[in-house]
Structure 1
Amino acid sequence: MALPAEFALIARHFRPLAGEGALDLSDDAALLDPPPGRQLVLAADAMVAGVHFLPDDPPETIGRKLLRVNLSDLAAMGAAPLGYLMTCAFAKATPDAWIAGFVAGLAEDQREFAIGVLGGDTVATPGPATFSLTILGTVAPGQALRRRGARPGDEIWVSGTIGDGALGLLALTGRLPPDAFLAERYRLPRPRLALGQALAGVARAAMDVSDGLVQDLGHLARAAGCAAELCADAVPLSPSARAALATDPALRERILGGGDDYELLFAAAPEDAPRVLAASAAAQTPVTRIGRFLDGEGVTVLDGTGQPLALGSAGWSHFG
């Protein structure tokens, strides 16, 4: 007896992605034994065509970005990946070759990050393509990094470079000159898993930067019940972002608030700076000190002379 179309699609494309515990994607759910002595960490993110990726983005990069933004949530908790569940709502009449490319991208990153799919669902939708992924990870009990925990006097650190994703979107949509580096940073974020795990017991609070540096710093400050002071000139920029900013200084607001960075933003005590740098070296991921937490509330962004900068937008919101 021939398989129904949906099950044939799953067998053709998604069964090769199945990880341990997925039961070959032939049952209603997966069976999973967490590693002994580890605590589960779960997170979920969705991506919608025209909102989180461009409709003409290569399908390989869409699958990889979907997995990577979820891996970034694990990185922010200091967790190691275990597996994931995924729901795919493909636009009607999506070519089989497009789905094959989407799956090929997932397979490439599954190999890189040593993770497999555990199950999910596939449907067709009359609206834009929509994908949702729930990721599972593990961490030693009591060692998960949390958003709350920063204290007045703590230093603010960030990994990598900021603004590349937001500028990459501008380059891909013709609002900046084409730039292959910025385009890749928008399409393929880099989850800082090794750094997140190395910061366990060092960082007092952490999260990943997805909605904009200033806005996400505000989340850390509110969770801690304190204020934050950010030095704009200390924010690390890639050569591409620095060149764009030199051409158009108004891009500073986009860099500080555009989002799609997926870098780690974290707090650490001043005396722990050597341990932060040691974690950075161990993870082979650069980090930069960009400010401090203070008594009070809110986020203040300072220019190179120490004067407050007025920003029209602090970051991205789906509902703002």
Structure 2
Amino acid sequence: MRGGRLGEFELIARYFAPLAKDFQGARGLKSDNAFLPSDARHDLVVKTDTIVAGVHFLANERPEWVAAKALRVCLSDLAAGGSSPFVYQLSLSLQKGWREKWVAGFAQGLAADQRRYGIAICGGDTVVSPGPTTITITAFGRVPKGRGLARDGARPGDELWVSGTIGDGALGLLAARGRLKSLQLERRYRLPQPRTDLGPRLVGIANATADVSDGLLADAGHIADASGLAVTIERERVPLSAAARRVVRGEPSLWANVLGGGDDYELVMAIPPRRRNALLAAARAADVPVTKIGTFERGRGVRLTVEGRVVRAPRAGYVHF
């Protein structure tokens, strides 16, 4: 709670989680996904996400890139659930004075990503609003029955692993706003790369997963909190791209953005040591690098170390409220 007001997770726990208590697939609303019975072999993994102009994407962003981001942030959560993309629905709230050219570009962006990720639209709604353009997507994925991955399965002694590189999204936002100069980082912010090839391969390997949307510290912390554990993250192990490493080397204070800024859409995973080789094989098959960056243990909270010394963590992550 901040300044007497509820934060996002407190709000959900107090008012909305009780409404879901009779449906097991809601996972107490502690997961980003819901898990619905489908056929004899599969469950549906369902994720809804909203992005708003001026909040989640720049107001003057290219419409095809807005479409890609709107869809891909949902696909990232489906990957964290261990599922493969299936179909999605779109709710599009256009700002007053919208132009058909913008909608045409937006639809082209969706079409390109439908081909790329093997997913199709199956419904939705379109309205005009006096507010900013707002896009809500509900995406459905398929996972083997009863095998969907969530945040709450980590065990003491599990290793914390992460895919890809961290910090490009947050540093890319600074680049998009003119604070830094890096086309590579800027593109990473504008066009996230959901790990849809890796996610389904984690079924039977990972005990718990999340995607890095709010920030590494926050999302690793979500796994720890949901699992009733503490997590230690070793900063020197956190993988950085060459572009991010150059930026942080020149301005070390930007470590706060790297660890807490979000928008990376990589996967964080709780992996039992005995399954480490299986994870590495899955990562090779998906052509996605993975790095061990910490450990889950008994206790509560997130602990950050630098060369073995516990340090005060920078901002914990993106806060919606």
Q: TM-score, normalised by structure 2?
A: 0.87
Q: 1:122 & 1:53 partners in 2: Cα distance?
A: 19
Alignment of 1:16-31 (within 5 A): none
Shift of 1:258: 0.1
Alignment of 1:25-64 (within 5 A): 37-64=41-68
Q: Secondary structure at the match of 2:270?
A: strand
Q: Aligned letter for 1:281?
A: R
Q: 1:312 & 1:162 partners in 2: Cα distance?
A: 15
Residue deviations 1:210-258, cap 9 Å, x none?
0000011111001111110000010000001000001100000110000
Question: Of residues 88, 96, 109 in structure 1, which corresponds to 2:113?
Answer: 109
Q: Secondary structure at the match of 1:186?
A: helix
Q: Secondary structure at the match of 1:194?
A: coil
Q: 1:189 & 1:34 partners in 2: Cα distance?
A: 29
Say if 1:34 and 1:112 are closer, same or farther in 2 by CA, change over 3 A. Answer: farther
Matched with 2:242 is 239
Question: Of residues 224, 228, 233 in structure 2, which corresponds to 1:230?
Answer: 233
Question: Of residues 307, 317, 320 in structure 2, which corresponds to 1:315?
Answer: 317
Q: Secondary structure at the match of 2:192?
A: coil
Question: Of residues 230, 250, 263 in structure 1, which corresponds to 2:253?
Answer: 250
Matched with 2:7 is none
Q: 2:149 & 2:52 partners in 1: Cα distance?
A: 28
Q: 2:95 & 2:107 partners in 1: Cα distance?
A: 16
Residue 176, structure 1, aligned to residue 180, structure 2: yes
Residue deviations 1:131-184, cap 9 Å, x none?
10001111111111111111111100000000101000000101112x111111
Q: 2:180 & 2:312 partners in 1: Cα distance?
A: 23
Question: Of residues 118, 121, 128 in structure 2, which corresponds to 1:124?
Answer: 128
Q: Secondary structure at the match of 1:81?
A: strand
Contact 2:259 2:314 in 1 (8 A): no
Q: Aligned letter for 1:215?
A: A
Shift of 1:193: 1.2
Matched with 1:99 is 103
Matched with 1:13 is none
Q: Which of structures 1 and 2 has the bigger CA Rg?
A: 1
**Structure 2: runs of 5 or more not aligned:** 1-36
CA RMSD of aligned residues (A): 1.2
Shift of 1:36: 5.3
Question: Of residues 198, 201, 207 in structure 2, which corresponds to 1:195?
Answer: 198
Q: 1:183 & 1:263 partners in 2: Cα distance?
A: 16
Q: 2:131 & 2:63 partners in 1: Cα distance?
A: 17
Residue deviations 1:265-317, cap 9 Å, x none?
0011112111110010111111000000111111100012x111213411001
Q: Secondary structure at the match of 2:74?
A: helix
Shift of 1:114: 1.0
Q: How many residues align?
A: 285
Residue 79, structure 1, aligned to residue 91, structure 2: no
Matched with 1:162 is 166
Shift of 1:75: 0.1
Residue deviations 1:35-89, cap 9 Å, x none?
6521111110000001100011111100011000000111000101110011000
Q: Secondary structure at the match of 1:260?
A: coil
**Structure 1: runs of 5 or more not aligned:** 1-32
| Aligned residues with identical type, % of pairs | 50
Q: Aligned letter for 1:108?
A: A
Q: Aligned letter for 2:157?
A: G
Q: Aligned letter for 1:154?
A: D
Matched with 2:93 is 89
Matched with 1:16 is none
Q: 1:166 & 1:62 partners in 2: Cα distance?
A: 17
Q: 1:134 & 1:263 partners in 2: Cα distance?
A: 20
Q: Secondary structure at the match of 1:61?
A: helix
Residue 282, structure 1, aligned to residue 274, structure 2: no
Q: 2:75 & 2:267 partners in 1: Cα distance?
A: 12
Q: Secondary structure at the match of 1:123?
A: strand
Q: 1:144 & 1:35 partners in 2: Cα distance?
A: 14
Q: Aligned letter for 1:300?
A: R
